[in-house]
A and B are shown apart, each in its own frame.
Chain A
Amino acid sequence: MWEIDESDLPDFCSKPTLVLGCGNTLFGDDGFGCAVIEHIQDHYVVPDDVCLCDTGTGVRKLLFTLCLSPIRPARIVIVDAIDAGRAPGEVFEIDPTDIPVAKQDDFSLHQLPTSNLLRELQQTCSVVVRVLACQTGPLPEQVQTGLSEAVSSAVPCAAEWLVREYFSSNTAPRNDED
């Protein structure tokens, strides 16, 4: 009835690798995912087969589109802050299927984005979903911007991990003189 061309679809559907930086930059360490995306964009050349998105607090709309799209990425990497009881600033990977049940349904400001949808994209739609998380520092008493020192230090580390895993081998860091 209606024809749809691949050009009608957003890059986040059509590129093989999708990296989503999630979080609210107004809420302290919750802005970790967005900071990582910004760091990569500032320091690396992003290859054509990778789509980087700073989704802020709007990732669910994007995930809905992915669920319905006839074309999806082969892999999605979520970059987000989480309170998992580890040392502040520790960067670690989570498989959505490994998220503890209590964590899946225990929302907080640092809740992973729509963890159920991610798990189901993986299990039902054959999309490889990985989550790169950073342990947040203690929640501040009041809402405030800015990453804590420990989480801020983790940003380049997380960026390097992503580049190593997903950027092609001939991707060099950006030269600011270029």
Chain B
Amino acid sequence: MATKTLVIQPVTRIEGHAKVTIQLNDAGNVDTARVNVIELRGFEKFCIGRPVEDLPRITPRICGVCPWSHHLAAAKACDAVFGVEPPPAAKKLRELCNSIAYMEEHILHFYFLAGADFLLGPDAPYSVRNVIGVLQAAPDVAKRVVKIRHMCAKMLEVLAGKPIHPQAAVPGGFSKPLAPVERDQLRKQADEALELAKFSIAFAKENVFPKYLDVVKSLGVITTGFIGTVKDDGALNLYDGKLRLMAPDGTYETFPYDRYTEFIGEHIEPWSYLKFPYAKKWGDGFSLDADNPKGMYRANTLARINVCDHIDTPLAQTELEEFRKKFGRPAQLTLLYHWARLIELLYNAENAVRLLDDPEITSTETRVKVTPRAGRGVGCVEAPRGSLIHDYETDADGMITNVNLIVGTTHNNGPINMSVTNAAKSLIHDGKYDQGLLNMVEMSIRAYDPCLSCATHRLDGKLSVKLDIFDVDGEFLETLAN
């Protein structure tokens, strides 16, 4: 049998060009699988020559899915370039916005994106395994989700003037203090969000995860290190702290953001537009071989849950303890990203309540002055999809001379490829494959919640997937499509 190349284009799920290419060997089993995602090129170059203070305004438009993450990382990089420390109220307001934006994101992902797989089951007919299927199966839940997501958007509007493409975080602080009457309104809303967070994780633990534990234990499983942000005491923090890079055996190093280039290298593969960060500090080099990976580490929810020593909000800490009792530390199963995401949802809701109860949140001292200078500044926040690094250099007039961005999804580029390879290998044997494999492969990608993925099913349940099969000489053989 000639070797065959299977190409999956999950085109409803990826913003930009993306495809999965699976190479079969002579026996019809999977040799390799590659996920190609087109990175938005040119953005870093576009920033050169601009005033650095423009970047918190510009970078939220890199991506419409996580504008707040870019906004805050850019503001922090500007703080570092200018050599200033924002006042405590400003940091708390930024962190509060981050927590609210997180809640909106994580709710969207669990209920809208992953939900169709888990709430309805990966084996459910395509006709129900979609957003409308979720709505029909759990209409009260759907209504509640709509209300809370809208409420989070309104909360951000109160804090920052607008929820989409924010501009409130500025170099040196936050442009708008929070009035006490606004705080009181937000406090009530934070309580509502906390109730949904508590419900979500309880619901998932009772109705979702036990049912699909076999899938969780088997789909796209790989062994890697992890990266995430922790505070000085090792507590989880999504806005500020230090980066912690954990090896597969659980040992780790913690370092300040501006030393990231000592720990993280960037590898290029000729078949992908997206770079492959790897842990060069480990000294093993780079390899995507799932049986013998080198330098591979993961970011995003599971990574953060693994690298932190504890969570400093009580309900999320209780959940973390239960999670670790079941799965250990570090937990490696890819689909546990979803469980970790719900722990983070709970943490963010508790954190929002905590920040709103802090009297300092309504201080009117929200900004310090900045003066242009030549310098370098690294700002990092934990975007929902992973550690987001903005690295800026400026000239004496404060104009950008160099920009390097590592977005959350980029950290996971290598591991996503490994997970897809493993998923494909477990599903394709002796040259036999079917439409069912498409969703299982996509599930392994969806767990990472890649930023370039608009991971939803078509409302009618079909996948809008085209599978082109070529032989090793590039000769077209057939197309599977729906």
> Which residues of A pack against B, CB within 8 Å?
1-2, 4, 8-10, 13, 24-26, 54-61, 64-65, 67-70, 104-105, 107, 114, 116-117, 120-121, 123-125, 142-144
Interface centre among A8, A67, A68, A123 (most CB of B within 10 A): A68
Question: Hey, which chain B residues are within 8 Å of A10, CB to CB?
Answer: 150, 153
A-B contact count (CB 8 A): 109
> Once the chains are docked, how many angstroms separate the CA of A9 from the CA of B142?
12
Question: Hey, which chain A residues are within 8 Å of B131, CB to CB?
Answer: 64, 67-68
Interface residues of B in 424-482 (CB under 8 A from A): 454, 456, 458-460, 464, 466
> Once the chains are docked, how many angstroms separate the CA of A121 from the CA of B43?
33
> Once the chains are docked, how many angstroms separate the CA of A125 from the CA of B132?
9
Tell me the minimal C-beta distance from A10 to chain B in angstroms: 5
Interface centre among B45, B112, B143 (most CB of A within 10 A): B143
Interface residues of B in 1-23 (CB under 8 A from A): 9, 11-12, 14-17
Question: Hey, which chain A residues are within 8 Å of B9, CB to CB?
Answer: 105
Instruction: Classify the interface of chain B: helix, strand, loop or mixed.
Output: helix
B144 with A4: CB separation less than 8 A: yes
A1-B140, A57-B63 are known contacts; what are 13 more A-B pairs with Cβ within 8 Å?
Answer: A2-B147, A9-B147, A9-B150, A25-B61, A56-B165, A57-B61, A57-B165, A60-B64, A68-B142, A107-B16, A116-B12, A142-B45, A143-B43
Question: Hey, which chain A residues are within 8 Å of B112, CB to CB?
Answer: 64, 67-68
Tell me the minimal C-beta distance from A38 to chain B in angstroms: 13
With contact pairs A67-B135, A70-B143, A107-B17 given, residues A116 and B458 touching in the complex (Cβ less than 8 Å): yes
Question: Hey, which chain B residues are within 8 Å of A65, CB to CB?
Answer: 146, 149-150
Tell me the minimal C-beta distance from A144 to chain B in angstroms: 7
B270 CB-CB contact with A under 8 Å: no
A121: which of B45, B108, B454, B459 is its contact (CB, 8 Å)? B459
B210 CB-CB contact with A under 8 Å: no
With contact pairs A64-B131, A68-B131, A125-B459 given, residues A8 and B147 touching in the complex (Cβ less than 8 Å): yes
Tell me the minimal C-beta distance from A29 to chain B in angstroms: 15
B65 CB-CB contact with A under 8 Å: yes
Tell me the minimal C-beta distance from A47 to chain B in angstroms: 22
B458 with A2: CB separation less than 8 A: no
B330 CB-CB contact with A under 8 Å: no
B15 with A105: CB separation less than 8 A: no
B61 with A60: CB separation less than 8 A: no
Q: When each residue 118-161 of chain B gets 1 if its CB lies under 8 Å from chain A and 0 otherwise, what string results? A: 00000000000001101100011011111101110100000000
B67 CB-CB contact with A under 8 Å: yes
A105 with B459: CB separation less than 8 A: no
Interface residues of B in 156-211 (CB under 8 A from A): 164-165
> Once the chains are docked, how many angstroms separate the CA of A1 from the CA of B64?
33
B64 with A117: CB separation less than 8 A: no
Return the chain B residue nearest A60 by Cβ: B454
> Once the chains are docked, how many angstroms separate the CA of A120 from the CA of B132?
10
> Once the chains are docked, how many angstroms separate the CA of A124 from the CA of B461?
11
> Once the chains are docked, how many angstroms separate the CA of A144 from the CA of B58?
11
Question: Hey, which chain B residues are within 8 Å of A59, CB to CB?
Answer: 64
> Which residues of B pack against A, CB within 8 Å?
9, 11-12, 14-17, 42-43, 45-46, 58, 61, 63-65, 67, 104, 108, 112, 131-132, 134-135, 139-140, 142-147, 149-151, 153, 164-165, 454, 456, 458-460, 464, 466
> Once the chains are docked, how many angstroms separate the CA of A120 from the CA of B462?
11
B42 with A142: CB separation less than 8 A: yes
A144 with B46: CB separation less than 8 A: yes
A120 with B459: CB separation less than 8 A: yes
Tell me the minimal C-beta distance from B340 to chain A in angstroms: 22
Tell me the minimal C-beta distance from B142 to chain A in angstroms: 5
Task: Identify the 6 closest CB pairs spanning chains A and B, nearest first.
Answer: A57-B64, A120-B459, A105-B11, A143-B46, A58-B64, A58-B164
A67 with B460: CB separation less than 8 A: no
B456 with A64: CB separation less than 8 A: yes
> Once the chains are docked, how many angstroms separate the CA of A24 from the CA of B135?
31
Question: Hey, which chain B residues are within 8 Å of A117, CB to CB?
Answer: 456, 459
With contact pairs A105-B464, A143-B43 given, residues A68 and B147 touching in the complex (Cβ less than 8 Å): no
A61 with B456: CB separation less than 8 A: no
Question: Hey, which chain A residues are within 8 Å of B45, CB to CB?
Answer: 142-143
Question: Hey, which chain A residues are within 8 Å of B63, CB to CB?
Answer: 57
> Once the chains are docked, how many angstroms separate the CA of A64 from the CA of B132?
10
A67: which of B67, B132, B144, B464 is its contact (CB, 8 Å)? B132
B108 with A58: CB separation less than 8 A: no
With contact pairs A68-B134, A107-B17 given, residues A26 and B46 touching in the complex (Cβ less than 8 Å): yes
Return the chain A residue nearest B9 by Cβ: A105
Return the chain B residue nearest A57 by Cβ: B64
A68 with B146: CB separation less than 8 A: yes
A105: which of B108, B134, B466 is its contact (CB, 8 Å)? B466
Q: What would 11 A/B residue contacts be, using CB atoms closer than 8 Å? A: A4-B143, A56-B165, A60-B65, A61-B108, A107-B14, A114-B454, A117-B456, A120-B459, A125-B132, A143-B45, A143-B46
Question: Hey, which chain A residues are within 8 Å of B454, CB to CB?
Answer: 60, 114
Return the chain B residue nearest A8 by Cβ: B147
> Once the chains are docked, how many angstroms separate the CA of A64 from the CA of B111?
10
> Once the chains are docked, how many angstroms separate the CA of A9 from the CA of B147?
6
Question: Hey, which chain B residues are within 8 Å of A104, CB to CB?
Answer: 11
> Once the chains are docked, how many angstroms separate the CA of A160 from the CA of B165?
27
Question: Hey, which chain B residues are within 8 Å of A70, CB to CB?
Answer: 139, 143, 146
Question: Hey, which chain A residues are within 8 Å of B67, CB to CB?
Answer: 57-58
Tell me the minimal C-beta distance from A61 to chain B in angstroms: 7
